[in-house]
Amino acid sequence: MEYTHLGRSGLSVSRLCLGTMNFGWKTGEADSRAVMDRALDEGVNFFDTANVYGFDAGKGRTEGVLGSWFAQGDGRREKTVLATKVYGGMSDWPNDTFLSARNIVRACEASLRRMGTDWIDLYQFHHVDLRTPWEEIWQACETLVAQGKVLYVGSSNHAAWQIAAANEAAARRNFQGLVSEQSHYNLLTRHVELEVLPAAQHYGVGIIPWSPLAGGLLAGALEKNAGTRRNEERNQKRVEEHRPALEAYEAFCRELGHPPADVGLAWLLHQPAVTAPIVGPRTMAQLEGTLGALEVRLDDAALTRLDEIFPGYRPAPMEYAW
């Protein structure tokens, strides 16, 4: 396993991040524990969750599964860099949602109880809250850091100007601020290259891409669907929308001699702003299928070809102005 620092922090994390969103509702608890054990055995030390995960099985369920796994001992908690998130509503009451100081502190304490741990390594804002000032947000985070309940803070789904505003506000308070940003980023979805990635690099914020394989489109969708029952209507529509690019992509992957999923993840790992893509397996086989990406090396010619198939963006304003 390869490791890198999370943004400008001194925290070492694996180049793949285990996303646990499926655990406890799409993936049963026993299977979830087995996947986490295998990930840790393979050196994946970076686990991502959120307080709202569990959905149909109940919000908080996924954090509860992590808690039961940590409770088995054998250094599981100590070996894991644990990331969770706050923002989504945990009830119908108005103060159980968003990023007020009250919700940040109380949601953190609830996550700690569900996971049976004393601290969260990376506490992330699941979405931007435009109605709460950064001064209030940082006041709450400073309290949690001072209490040892949170070690680092990150964001998710934030725009570049919001990352800048957050870290400038933190600097005024002599607080570390954001060290990471979770963004929707893959070969098909590259909007963050306009401003989010340049801002992240400027502020030393590590990018943690979610949906790195575009919901499976970059994992050999054409090949997997060939000769089988047509996929559900929504996914099939997405395949047809991108069919020419996907055909070229899968053909190029065959030339490289690597599975499409490995190439898609490897491309992200070659991007300088990226810390670790989030892989969210439902099964052990899916976890095992992601590990090969770490062995894929893409030369300049391969990277250029992938840019031709899936054109990206230059940093703003060069993308649209002289």
Write the pLDDT tens digit of every residue in 188-215: 999 999 999 999 999 999 999 999 999 9
The pLDDT value recorded for residue 229 is: 46
- Long-range contacts formed by 304-311: CB under 8 A, 24+ apart: 305/252, 306/187, 306/249, 306/252, 306/263, 306/267, 309/187, 309/245, 309/248, 309/249, 309/252, 310/187, 310/188, 310/190, 310/245, 310/249
Rounded to the nearest 10 degrees, how much is the dihedral formed by the CA atoms of 16, 21, 24, 29?
A: -10
The residue ranges of the chain whose pLDDT is under 70 are: 225-232
Gap between the terminal Cα atoms of the chain: 42
Longest CA–CA span in the chain (Å) reads: 60
222-247 tens-digit pLDDT:
987 654 444 567 778 889 999 999 99
**pLDDT given at position 230:** 47
**Residue 215: what pLDDT?**
93
Whole-number pLDDT of residue 224: 78
Kindly state the DSSP code that residue 121 receives in the 8-state scheme: E
87-125: pLDDT as tens digits:
999 999 999 999 999 999 999 999 999 999 999 999 999
Which homologous superfamily is 3-216+259-301 in?
Answer: NADP-dependent oxidoreductase domain (3.20.20.100)
Residue 53 annotated as catalytic: yes
pLDDT at 226: 55
Tell how many helices (H) and how many strands (E) occur in the chain: 13, 10
- Collapsing DSSP to helix, strand or coil, 93 comes out as coil
List CB contacts of 257: < 8 A, sequence separation 6 or more: none
Q: Where are the beta strands (DSSP E) in 112-230?
A: 120-125, 150-156, 178-184, 206-210
> Around Cβ 214, how many Cβ atoms within 10 Å?
20
The pLDDT score that the predictor gives to residue 228 is: 44
Which residues are bridge partners to 279 per DSSP? 18
Average pLDDT along the chain: 95
Q: What is the pTM of this model?
A: 0.95
For 81, residues 6+ apart whose C-beta sits below 8 A from its C-beta are 6, 11, 12, 13, 45, 46, 47, 121, 122
Element (H, E) at 47: strand 46-48
